[in-house]
Each structure stands twice: as C-alpha cells, then as structure tokens.
C-alpha cells in the first residue's frame, strides 16, 4: 500500500483528535514532541496496518488496543550505541572526570551521581560507568559512584538491565574495555558485575515524571531534538535544577540551549555540547574551575 503523502498533513483536526485519544487511553502526551516528528512516526504505523487516515487509525486503536504497544514504541524509539560521538566521551574522560574528582576531594565528598537521560537500551549509561571506573582504578573504593539510566520505553529498559550486546553493538568498544568489562557468553557479550554494580536503570518520563535531583553530571543527548521548543525550555530548566552546584550538562552536538538556559549554563566545550551549571560565586564559594576553558 502507498499512502497519499498529501493526505496526512491536511488532516489537522483528525490528527488533534487522535493525539487526545492517545493521551486519554495511554496517558502519553504527543504534544511533547514536534508535530512533524509525530506524523512521521504515525505514518509508519498507518502503513503497517494498511490504514489511510488518522480517523481510521483511531478506530483501529479502539478495536485493537494492542496496537498501542507498537505505536508507543514507534514514538519513543531512539538510537543508542557505546561511546557514540567518540570525541565527546574523550573530552569527558580527559577533562570533565578529573575536574569532577578533584572537586569532590576538595569538598571531602565521596558520592558521585550521574544521570543518563533517555538512555534507550543502556549503551550510553554503561559507557559512562566504564569511563568512571576505569579512571578511578584502585581509587574506586574512595568514592560511591551511581550512574542512573532512564528511559520511557519498557522494552529498552529491559534490554539495558540485561546488559547483553552483540559484537556488532560493541563495535566502538576498545579491546581493553571489552576484555576488562564484558564477559562473552552464549554468543553475546554481557556487561560485568563490576560495571553493573554502579549502574541503575529506571523507567522515567522526562516530561511528566517526578523531578530528579542531586546529580553531578547529566547526559541528555539527541533526545530533545524530537521535542517542541517549549518542551526544550522546560527540560533544560529541570536539568539545571537537578544538577548540583558546578555540575556538568552534556547535550547533543547538534542541539542548542534555548530560553533561560542560555544564561544559566557556561560552555565548557560547546563544540562537544558540554556545559556547566552557572552558580554565583557568592552563593557557593566555588566558582567555575579556571582551568576548564570554554571553546
């Protein structure tokens, strides 16, 4: 079946009705995403079900509620891989982690909390945990490391918790990391317990979920590109509030801060999408480390 490309964009009213139905039936607010993105994802499900209109698809959802599972998966699908955008992780390893550890030692604090938001099937979360553990080495016992991965998709969360990946999925993982932090078993590589021990996965909706807090670093990369501008502003302010003083925010390299967030985050390396929470010196007594130079 070929869908009339001129048909879907003209169904504005039926599109709005369908979004309201999805919100009522599943509590999933499509308005958090850009309309063009929602329409592209809906088109996939319309083609899969040989349906020509939003109105007919709404009827299908009423008749077959199991289709909602496929729809939500289509709307929330995300691409993830280990050490995606290698230069970002390299800068994080060489510059951000040393500053973070130095700051914790200066403050005589042992707890380090990192949030990987929109983590999909866990690759980013495990990548962060590997770098933290590898950097600390014998000093790991001097700190309590928590890497918190969240996503809205149940299936992705289950895969993340299993921590099992194919060789192809580990293509960006160096041989050293592969041998130290993965165990080959039954044709797949399983994340070792020494990495799983510092990682926790939890289902969480960035839009309507409970506010999270007290993080030293937040990664949210290539997630907000699907959201509306208003949602961008809301998310960035929530991330700002969720960060500890002098905490770091890592966003997608093609994403841009907007609204009040532009004045509340200091670029550490804008090219790599790395920023730091701006806190007045008189409020904390700890200004931004002078040896991190914005780029």
Label each residue of 241-266 as H, E or C: HHEEEEEEEEECCCCCCCCCHHHHEE
Highest mean pLDDT among 19-28, 77-86, 270-279: 270-279
- C-alpha distance from residue 24 to each of 30, 40, 50, 276, 278 (Å): 11, 21, 24, 38, 39
Half-sphere exposure of 77 (CA within 13 A, CB side): 13
pLDDT at 290 over 60: no
pLDDT at 45 over 70: yes
Residue 254: band (very low, low, confident or very high) from pLDDT cuts 50, 70, 90: confident
How many of the other CB atoms lie within 10 Å of CB of 294?
12
Q: How far apart are CA 201 and CA 162, in angstroms?
A: 10
pLDDT in tens, 125-154: 999 999 999 999 989 999 999 999 999 888
Q: In this prediction, what percent of the chain has a pLDDT beyond 90?
A: 61
Residue 170: band (very low, low, confident or very high) from pLDDT cuts 50, 70, 90: very high
**Is the separation of the CB atoms in 19 and 31 below 8 Å?**
yes
Q: Determine the straight-line distance between the first and last CA of the chain, rounded to whole angstroms.
A: 50
- C-alpha distance from residue 235 to each of 15, 137, 145, 231 (Å): 25, 34, 25, 6
Q: What is the pLDDT of residue 112?
A: 98
pLDDT at 30 over 80: yes
pLDDT at 293 over 70: no
Q: Which two tokens stand for residue 110?
A: 């042992």
Q: What is the pLDDT of residue 285?
A: 42
Q: How far apart are CA 20 and CA 205, in angstroms?
A: 18
The mean predicted confidence, pLDDT, of the chain is 87
- The secondary structure of 48-100 as a DSSP string is HTT--SHHHHHHHHHH-TTHHHHHHHHHH-----TTSSHHHHHHIIIIIHHHH
pLDDT at 23 over 80: yes
- The secondary structure of 204-248 as a DSSP string is --TTTSPP---EEEEEE-SSGGGB-HHHHHHHHHHHHHHEEEEEE
pLDDT at 182 over 90: yes
Q: What is the pLDDT of residue 212?
A: 94
pLDDT at 87 over 80: yes
Highest mean pLDDT among 179-183, 208-212, 225-229: 179-183
Record the pTM: 0.77
Q: Which two tokens stand for residue 54?
A: 């939003």
Mean pLDDT of 169-188: 94
- C-alpha distance from residue 36 to each of 44, 76, 235 (Å): 13, 14, 20
Strand partners, 269: 274
pLDDT at 122 over 90: yes
Q: How far apart are CA 200 and CA 194, in angstroms?
A: 13
Distance of CA 114 to the CA centre of its chain: 12
Q: What is the pLDDT of residue 77?
A: 66
Q: What is the pLDDT of residue 34?
A: 81
pLDDT at 40 over 50: yes
Mean pLDDT of 33-56: 89
Q: How far apart are CA 103 and CA 285, in angstroms?
A: 12
Q: What is the pLDDT of residue 253?
A: 84
Q: What share of the chain is helix, strand, coil (3-state, %, to 5)?
A: 50, 20, 30
Q: What is the pLDDT of residue 79?
A: 67
**What ranges do the domains of the chain cover?**
8-76, 86-284
Q: Locate tokens 């039926």: which residue? A: 14
148 vs 292, more confident = 148
Q: What is the pLDDT of residue 279?
A: 77
**For domain 86-284, which CATH number applies: 3.40.50.150, 2.170.130.30, 3.40.1010.10, 3.40.50.720?**
3.40.50.150
Q: What is the pLDDT of residue 26?
A: 82
Assigned architecture for domain 8-76: Orthogonal Bundle (1.10)
pLDDT at 55 over 70: yes
Q: What is the pLDDT of residue 162?
A: 96
Mean pLDDT of 196-214: 91
Q: Which two tokens stand for residue 215?
A: 């993080």
Mean pLDDT of 196-220: 93
Helix residue ranges per DSSP H, 107-170: 123-136, 154-162
* Residues in CB range of 91: below 8 A, 6 or more apart: 269, 272, 274
Sign of CA dihedral 208, 213, 215, 217: positive
């Amino acid at each position: 079946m070929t869908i009339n490309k001129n048909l879907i964009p003209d169904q504005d009213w039926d599109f709005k009705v369908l979004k309201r139905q999805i919100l009522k039936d599943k509590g999933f607010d499509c308005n958090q995403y850009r309309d063009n993105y929602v329409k592209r994802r809906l088109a996939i499900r319309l083609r899969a079900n040989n349906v020509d209109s939003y109105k007919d698809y709404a009827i299908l959802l009423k008749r077959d509620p199991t289709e909602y599972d496929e729809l939500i998966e289509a709307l929330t699908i995300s691409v993830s891989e280990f050490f995606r955008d290698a230069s970002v992780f390299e800068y994080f390893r060489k510059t951000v982690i040393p500053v973070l550890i130095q700051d914790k030692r200066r403050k005589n604090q042992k707890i380090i909390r990192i949030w990987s938001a929109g983590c999909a099937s866990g690759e980013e979360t495990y990548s962060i945990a590997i770098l933290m553990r590898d950097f600390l080495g014998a000093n790991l016992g001097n700190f309590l490391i928590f890497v918190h991965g969240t996503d809205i998709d149940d299936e992705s969360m289950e895969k993340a918790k299993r921590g099992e990946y194919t060789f192809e999925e580990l293509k960006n993982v160096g041989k050293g990391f592969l041998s130290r932090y993965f165990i080959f078993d039954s044709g797949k590589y399983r994340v070792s317990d020494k990495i799983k021990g510092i990682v926790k996965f939890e289902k969480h909706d960035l839009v309507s979920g409970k506010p999270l807090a007290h993080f030293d670093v937040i990664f949210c990369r290539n997630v907000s590109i699907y959201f509306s501008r208003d949602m961008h502003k809301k998310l960035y302010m929530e991330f700002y509030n969720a960060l500890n003083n002098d905490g770091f925010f890592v966003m997608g390299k093609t994403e841009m801060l907007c609204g009040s967030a532009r004045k509340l985050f200091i670029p550490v390396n804008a090219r790599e999408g790395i920023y730091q929470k701006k806190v007045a010196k008189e409020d904390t007594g700890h200004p931004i480390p002078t040896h991190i130079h914005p780029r």
